[in-house]
A and B are shown apart, each in its own frame.
Chain A
Amino acid sequence: MALIDIRNLTIEIDTPTGTVKAVDKVSLTLAEGEIKALVGESGSGKSLIAKALLGVTKPSWRVRADRMRLGDQDLLSLSPSQRRKILKNDIAMIFQEPSSCLDPSVEVGKQIEQAIPLSKVKGGFWRRFQWRKRQAEALLHKVGIKDHRAVMQSFPYELSDGLCQKVMIAMAIASQPKVLVADEPTTAMEATTANQILRLLHKLNKLNNTAILLITHDLHTLADLADTISVIYCGHIVESGRYDQVLGQPYHPYTGALLDAMPTHNRDLEKKAKLPTLPGAIPALQHLPIGCRLGPRCPKAQRECVVQPQLKKFKGHLYACHHPNNFQQKENG
């Protein structure tokens, strides 16, 4: 059974210019121990899905779904205290700009200790203090920080972004959650640090069997990390499937364009030639095109595209397009 099961999630946001449907009928499932990547441009609603999943919404949002479950718990009908309990024990989240997500006036060590639930203490109450400290050190070792003493004594502004993200991960796994939501965890980091973080996430997934929902705009970061990939455009899932399916045989023109826009070494491109991109920009949520939302930018758009395509399934590979790429030859051959 899927660990996270979201069916037809719709998020509407009240704005001064009227209600905007930021996420429209998105379905997601996440199995235990799976790494799922959610790929999309900024503004496509991928962070909103994560926030709705965790229940940290603003009053101006309206979240509706046919089904949103974590294990056997219904996330839609939770009291605030039940939700806090779930957030404490079952779901954790890490963010982009990690140094701004740590309290700037508290030592890192204390913040990690606070993240360790007291319910996990063994022994009497007098041992709690020492126990938590040792546990915090162990967590830091787990995320690959060897010099635990210096890190625990410093304030967040004294640490680099990479270190802060490791600390955030240490805090996130303190309660041994079933699901880790990583919202663009490597944005604005140099490649080596980003790789360290991704490798760390991979290790956690393999060792603790933590399911990871990886939200990113960069197909690079998930190239060999994700088990399954969902591509989201303007609040719609346009393509979803196993990672070799989506990256190897993208059906949707948008996924194809994302892959084409990635710089590679083995493609025949003229020197200083521009990488192929789609024309135009992601439309504002107030002015969405009718039908397929990629329509005005799509190189293969035809008359049928004014009707919104439904998600179709082919060998476990979901796509929402009337004229998919790489499809004709596949069907014939």
Chain B
Amino acid sequence: MLHYFIRRMNLLIITFLVINLIAFLFQPTHDANLSPNLWLAEYWRFVGANLRGDLGISVVSGKPVAEEVLRYLPATLELCIVAFAISFVVGVPIGTLAGVYQQRPLGKFINAGTLITQSIPVFWLPLPLMMSVVSLQGWFPISGRYDLLLEIPQHTGFAMLDVFWLPESQRWPAMYSVLSHIVLPGIVLSVIPTTELVRHLTTSTAKVMEQNYVKAAATMGKSKLSIVLRHVLHNALPPILPGLGLQFGSVLTAGMVLEMVFAWPGIGRWLINSIYFEDYVAIQGGMLVIATLVITTFVVTDLFTALIHPLRRREVYALR
């Protein structure tokens, strides 16, 4: 496990350095005629500053970029986490069902449904939702993170946690407002990881169902339900987790697009505004933070998988 940890940390560090290198090369102030030693020293200084959290000063707002990112990123992260939570709640049962009944009508139906859902552009999906259900019935709000009248203090940046700093009388109404605002963007954004999860889990489950130990479990008098819960899910879910960790990148990107549709005050809106204003420092800082976040998520999911799934660990030993 330690070897695995070190290998993954290596991957993390090297990718981080490469990302920094790219950011460094595309700096508008970058001077290509520096001598190699000076160039390297500049690069290390750049990496060191980024590690300390010094991402430069935004030329538009005049504030440190790191501060701005910390202010907007949690809103996006909150959205992504909710999307992933929804995708697990919805995707795991559907994917397992589709895998167990892969050759039956149910499996084929789920498969077709997944394909259709997957091919819908994620920025289009909110429009019919908003037009039909929401604006006519007024079930859920369609813009912002919470009611404009509320003043939720920014401590963690995650509105769901920040409401606990409010006085008790306002806490639960505020929580209600936050939750009702996140429903629609959360559902729309969850479409991406859900379809991915269902697709991977279907193949993975179908593969596990063919294994000898599932057949052997049937001869021990276990019911189909208990076999699926105890043996199949246990072996089908962990191998697809690293793949889902990679999906975090595309969910984050889609989240940024959705932020424009839902007027969500997250990092996507901030980044696009920075692009409008040609605020290179902010763009660079935002890109660095997001890229680092994505690779860190991947490495963490991978380590988590190795921690809970012995077969993953075996693969590591076999590679060593």
List residues of chain A with CB under 8 Å of any chain B CB.
54, 56, 80-81, 83-89, 92-93, 95, 97, 100-106, 114-115, 155, 157, 168, 171
Contacts and interface: CB of A to CB of B under 8 A. Distances in A.
Contact of B235 (A88, A93, A105, A115): A105
Given A103-B235, A105-B235, 14 more contacts: A81-B223, A84-B223, A85-B221, A92-B220, A93-B216, A95-B212, A102-B213, A102-B216, A103-B231, A104-B311, A105-B309, A105-B310, A105-B311, A106-B234
B63 to A, nearest CB: 49
B310 A54 contact: no
Contacts of A93: 216, 219
Contact of A155 (B218, B219, B222, B310): B310
Contacts of B311: 104-105, 157
Given A104-B311, A105-B311, A87 B221 contact: yes
Interface of B: 211-213, 215-223, 230-231, 234-235, 238, 309-311, 314
B235 A56 contact: no
Contacts of A80: 223
A87 B234 contact: no
B218 A103 contact: no
A84 B219 contact: no
Among A56, A85, A88, A103, the most chain B Cβ lie within 10 Å of the Cβ of: A103
A88 B219 CA distance: 8
B216 A95 contact: yes
A85 B215 CA distance: 17
A115 B218 CA distance: 12
B215 to A, nearest CB: 7
A103 to B, nearest CB: 5
Contact of A84 (B211, B215, B222, B234): B222
B212 A100 contact: yes
A133 B161 CA distance: 43
Contacts of A56: 215, 218-219
Given A56-B215, A155-B310, A105 B221 contact: no
B238 A105 contact: yes
B310 to A, nearest CB: 5
A87 B220 contact: yes
A14 B100 CA distance: 21
A101 B221 contact: no
6 tightest CB-CB pairs across the interface, nearest first?
A: A87-B221, A88-B221, A101-B216, A100-B212, A84-B221, A93-B219
15 contacts: A56-B218, A81-B223, A89-B221, A95-B212, A95-B216, A97-B212, A103-B213, A103-B235, A105-B235, A105-B309, A105-B310, A105-B311, A155-B314, A157-B311, A171-B220
Contact of A157 (B211, B222, B314): B314
Contacts of B216: 93, 95, 101-102, 168
Among A95, A105, A114, the most chain B Cβ lie within 10 Å of the Cβ of: A105
A105 B212 contact: no
Contacts of A115: 220
Nearest to B234: A105
A92 B216 CA distance: 10
Contact of A104 (B220, B223, B235): B235
A97 B220 CA distance: 17
Nearest to B215: A56
Contacts of A100: 211-213
B238 to A, nearest CB: 7
Nearest to B239: A105
A168 B238 CA distance: 25
Contacts of A157: 310-311, 314
B317 to A, nearest CB: 10
A168 B216 CA distance: 10
Contacts of A54: 219
Contacts of A85: 221
A101 B223 contact: no
A83 B223 CA distance: 10
Nearest to A101: B216
Nearest to A158: B314
Given A84-B222, A85-B221, A103 B212 contact: no
A87 to B, nearest CB: 3
Contacts of A105: 234-235, 238, 309-311
Contacts of B310: 104-105, 155, 157
Contacts of A106: 231, 234
A87 B222 CA distance: 8
B212 A87 contact: no
B234 A103 contact: yes
Contacts of A97: 212
A101 B213 contact: yes
B235 A87 contact: no
A141 B268 CA distance: 63
A138 B216 CA distance: 22
Contact of B213 (A84, A86, A87, A104): A104
Contacts of B238: 105
Contacts of B221: 83-89
Contacts of B219: 54, 56, 87, 92-93
Contacts of B220: 87-88, 92, 115, 171
Nearest to B219: A93
Nearest to B104: A59
